[in-house]
Every structure is written in structure tokens, then in C-alpha cells.
């Protein structure tokens, strides 16, 4: 894989993110120019993480400040939730799962598996990816606040 992420992957994540937020939350999201990632990078306070394995190996992170995360989780579950609620992590996990699944459906590589999502909470977390991965951060803007989709991928050959 080259030192920059294939634009088709970025497009797949942008389209999937737009659709997930529009349909499940009725929330319009706009996107800034993707920023090539520097490793390790400082994540937002909340990171909903999913791993991809198979034809594409890597990590997808829905990275949000607490205020945005609480608004988004509340809109998803259709009732107010804060970060102490069980629904908070589950909602963000579901969202990153839907985004990753939707993006994956548009990959050229069809043999890609997704892990169960996990959600990391806390200030000042730095995420490190393997050095042979290529990372990009996709800035997302919405009326619930800004957030990002951070993607780090390594393409592999599957026989």
C-alpha cells in the first residue's frame, strides 16, 4: 500500500457515515478534507473502535468529544443518555459497526471481517497503529458537534 490511503476507501467511509447518521439519527453530517494521520495520534475523549481483518486489515475509530458523543448517543437511542449509561457505549459501538459495515460493502475486497466494537473513554488517549498501516482522519461536522472518523488500513492479498 502506498503512503496515502486509496481515495476509494475514504469515499466509502464518508458515504457510510453520511448514511448512518442521516437514517438512524436524522442528522446531516458534512465532511472536511481528510487529514493524513501521524502515528501515534491524540484521539478525542471517546473512541468507538472496530477492527477489520481479511482482505483489509486495520482499525476504524469513531472519535468524539464527550459533548458530541452524548448528543449523538441520545439521538440514536431516542432518550437522554450520558457517558455513565450502559446505552452510551453500546450506541457508539453500534454506530461504528454500521459505518464500518456500510463502508466495507463498497470495498473491492469482499473478504473482510469486522470485530465486535469496543469503546474507550478518557482524556488524552493516544492511539498507535502498526507502522506499516496508512492512516487518515476524516473531519465530520454536525449540529451535535464535530467528530472524526479515523481510519488506519493495511491492504493484504487473500488467496
Partner 1 sequence: MRVIVLDDSKTMRNVLKSILTELGYTEVEETCSGPDALAKVAAFNPDLLLLDWIMPKMDGLTFVKTYREQGNKTPTIFVTTANEKTRVIEAIKAGVNNYVVKPFTPDSLGERISETMAKVAASA
Binding site for partner 1 (CB under 8 A): 16, 19-20, 22-24, 26, 76-79, 86-87, 90-91, 94, 97-98, 100-102, 104-105, 114
d(CA 84, CA 41): 25
Check if the beta carbon of residue 148 is closer than 8 Å to that of residue 139.
Answer: yes
Minimum distance of partner 1 from residue 135's CB (angstroms): 22
Minimum distance of partner 1 from residue 27's CB (angstroms): 11
Minimum distance of partner 1 from residue 39's CB (angstroms): 26
Nearer to partner 1, 115 or 125 (CB): 115
Nearer to partner 1, 23 or 30 (CB): 23
Minimum distance of partner 1 from residue 153's CB (angstroms): 16
Instruction: Classify strands 46-54 and 126-127 as parallel, antiparallel or unpaired.
Output: unpaired
User: CA angle, corner 102, sides to 132 and 19, nearest 5?
Assistant: 120
Residue identified by cell 475486497 is 109
Minimum distance of partner 1 from residue 14's CB (angstroms): 15
Nearer to partner 1, 37 or 59 (CB): 59
Among positive and negative, which fits the CA dihedral 123, 145, 115, 153? Answer: negative
Nearer to partner 1, 4 or 30 (CB): 30
Structural Rg of the chain based on CA atoms:
15
d(CA 140, CA 147): 5
Check if the beta carbon of residue 147 is closer than 8 Å to that of residue 75.
Answer: no
Nearer to partner 1, 21 or 41 (CB): 21
Amino acid at each position: 500500500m502506498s503512503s496515502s490511503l486509496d481515495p476509494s476507501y475514504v469515499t466509502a467511509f464518508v458515504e457510510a457515515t453520511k448514511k448512518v447518521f442521516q437514517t438512524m439519527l436524522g442528522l446531516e453530517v458534512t465532511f472536511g478534507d481528510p487529514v493524513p494521520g501521524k502515528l501515534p495520534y491524540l484521539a478525542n475523549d471517546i473512541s468507538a473502535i472496530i477492527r477489520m481483518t481479511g482482505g483489509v486489515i486495520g482499525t476504524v475509530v469513531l472519535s468524539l468529544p464527550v459533548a458530541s458523543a452524548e448528543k449523538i448517543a441520545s439521538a440514536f437511542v431516542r432518550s437522554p443518555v450520558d457517558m455513565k449509561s450502559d446505552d452510551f457505549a453500546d450506541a457508539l459501538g453500534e454506530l461504528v459497526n454500521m459505518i464500518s459495515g456500510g463502508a466495507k460493502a463498497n470495498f473491492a475486497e469482499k473478504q473482510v471481517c469486522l470485530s465486535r466494537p469496543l469503546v474507550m473513554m478518557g482524556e488524552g488517549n493516544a492511539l498507535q497503529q502498526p507502522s506499516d498501516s496508512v492512516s487518515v482522519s476524516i473531519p465530520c461536522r454536525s449540529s451535535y458537534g464535530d467528530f472524526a472518523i479515523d481510519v488506519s488500513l493495511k491492504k493484504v492479498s487473500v488467496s
